[in-house]
Amino acid sequence: MCGIIGVVGSTSTLDILLEGLARLEYRGYDSAGVALVRQGETWRARTANGTESVQALVRACAQAPTGVTTGIGHTRWATHGAPEVMNAHPHLDCSGRIAIIHNGIIENHLALKEDLLARGHTFTSVTDSEVLAHQIEELRAAGNDLINAVRLSLASVRGAFSLAVVDALEPNTIVAARRVSPLIVATTPGATYLASDIPAIFDRATSFYGVDDDQVVQLTPDGFHAVDLEGTSVQLTPLTVNFDLETAQKDGHDDFMAKEIAEQPQALRATLMDRRRGDGSFTFDEMHVSDEELKEVRRVVLVAAGTSYHAALVAKYAIEKWARLSVDVEISSEYRYRDPVIEIGTLVIGVSQSGETIDTIQACREAKLRGARVIGICNIVDASLARESDAVLYTRAGLEVSVASTKAFVAQVAVLELLALHLAQLRGTMDSAVIDDRFTELTEVADHVATVLSRSERVSLVANELRDTRDFFYLGRNVGFPTALEGALKLKELTYLHAEGYAAGELKHGPLALIEPGVVVVAVVTDPNLHEKILSNLAEVKARGASVVAIAADGDEIIDAIADYVLRVPATNPLMAPIVDIVPLQQFAYAMARGLGRNVDRPRNLAKTVTVE
Ligand code: F6R
H helix runs in 154-255, sequence order = none
- Residue-wise pLDDT tens digits, 159-213: 889 999 999 999 999 999 999 888 999 999 999 999 998 888 988 999 999 999 9
Q: State which ligand 1 atom lies nearest to the alpha carbon of 490.
A: 7
- Residue-wise pLDDT tens digits, 568-611: 999 999 999 999 999 999 999 999 999 999 999 989 888 777 77
* Cα–ligand 1 centroid distance for 307 (angstroms): 5
pLDDT of residue 50: 80
Shortest CA distance to 126 belongs to which of 90, 86, 89?
86
- Residue-wise pLDDT tens digits, 302-340: 999 999 999 999 999 999 999 999 999 999 999 988 899
Percent of the chain with pLDDT over 70: 98
Cis peptide before 90 (omega within 30 of 0): yes
Inform me whether the pLDDT recorded for 28 exceeds 70: no
Rounded-to-integer distance, Cα 445 and Cα 438, Å: 11
- Residue-wise pLDDT tens digits, 6-15: 999 999 999 9
Ligand 1: lining residues by beta carbon, under 6 Å = 305-308, 352-354, 357, 360, 404-405, 489, 493, 610
Given the DSSP bridges, would you call strands 471-476 and 391-394 parallel, antiparallel or unpaired? Answer: unpaired
Give, in degrees to the nearest 5, the angle at Cα 266 between 487 and 25. Answer: 65
Shortest CA distance to 332 belongs to which of 303, 356, 353?
303
- Residue-wise pLDDT tens digits, 397-430: 988 889 999 999 999 999 999 999 999 999 999 9
DSSP state of 199: G
Mutate to test the pocket of ligand 1, among 256, 405, 489 (most ligand atoms within 8 A of CB): 405
* Cα–ligand 1 centroid distance for 584 (angstroms): 19
pLDDT of residue 415: 97
Q: Which residue's C-alpha comes closest to atom 4 of ligand 1?
A: 306
Is 608 noted as a catalytic residue in this protein? yes
* Catalytic residue chosen out of the listed positions 113, 259, 407, 608: 608
- pTM given for the model: 0.79
Strand positions, DSSP E, 144-242: 159-167, 174-179, 184-188, 191-195, 207-210, 215-220, 223-228, 233-234, 237-239
Rounded-to-integer distance, Cα 419 and Cα 158, Å: 38
446: number of Cβ within 10 Å: 21
Shortest CA distance to 14 belongs to which of 44, 39, 51, 41?
44
Higher pLDDT, 224 or 239: 224
Q: Which residue's C-alpha comes closest to atom 10 of ligand 1?
A: 307
- Residue-wise pLDDT tens digits, 137-160: 999 999 999 999 999 999 999 988
* Catalytic residue chosen out of the listed positions 2, 61, 364, 378: 2
Region class of 9: left (phi > 0), else alpha (psi between -120 and 50), else beta: left
Inform me whether the pLDDT recorded for 512 exceeds 70: yes
pLDDT band for position 247 (50/70/90)?
A: low
Q: Which residue's C-alpha comes closest to atom 11 of ligand 1?
A: 306
pLDDT of residue 445: 97
Q: State which ligand 1 atom lies nearest to the alpha carbon of 412.
A: 14
Inform me whether the pLDDT recorded for 250 exceeds 80: no
* Cα–ligand 1 centroid distance for 177 (angstroms): 25
Hey, what domains does the chain have and what are their CATH numbers?
Answer: 3-241 (3.60.20.10), 251-453 (3.40.50.10490), 456-595 (3.40.50.10490)
337: number of Cβ within 10 Å: 12
**Cβ 581 vs Cβ 549: under 8 Å:** no
* Cα–ligand 1 centroid distance for 87 (angstroms): 26
In this structure, what are the phi and psi dihedrals at residue 499, rounded to the nearest 5 degrees?
Answer: -145, 130
Q: State which ligand 1 atom lies nearest to the alpha carbon of 359.
A: 16
Q: State which ligand 1 atom lies nearest to the alpha carbon of 304.
A: 16
**Cβ 392 vs Cβ 415: under 8 Å:** no
